[in-house]
Amino acid sequence: MSGGDDATGADEPTRAVAQGTFDLVHPGHVHYLREAAAMADELHVIVARSANVSHKADPVLAARQRRDVVESIDAVDEAHLGNESDIFVPIERIDPDVIVLGYDQHHDEAALSDALADRGLDCEVDRAGPREPKYDDELLSTGRIIDRILERRG
C-alpha cells in the first residue's frame, strides 16, 4: 500500500495494525510483523492484555513487558496495549487502512470486517502467510517453546 492524498494534497502514511498476545516472541511473530509492515507505511501493533486472552493459556509475561519487546522489533513503528473492555478502542484511535491477522490466529475475517463496518471503520482485513521452519528443531509457537522448557527443565 502507498500513502494517499489528504485534502491538502500532502501524502498521508497508510497504517497497518497487527495484533496478538506475543508471549515469548519467536521467529513466527517476527515474520508476521514484517509481513504486516510491508502492507503499509506504518505498523502499529496491539498487544493483548492478559485479561483478554481467553482462547489459550494465560501469557507468561506481563502485558507491558510483551509490548516493550514487540516495540523493539525493527518492523514495528508503535506498540500499544489493548483495551481491557473493548478491543476496538485502539483500532478506532489508530484508524488503520488494513488490519493484518496472523496466519493461524483464531479470528474470523468476515466477522471482523462486519464488526469494523458496524463501527464505521473503513479498513481492509488481510492475513499474513505462514513461516515455515528453517531447520528441524526450530520452534515457531509459544506453546511449543513452553513445552520444550518443561520437558528439559521441568
Binding residues for ATP: 21-22, 26-29, 104
Residues 39 and 100 sit within 8 Å (Cβ to Cβ): yes
Give me the sheet containing 15-20, strands edge to edge. 78-81, 42-47, 15-20, 98-101, 124-127
Helices (H), 38-141: 63-71, 89-94, 109-118
CB 40 within 8 A of CB 16: yes
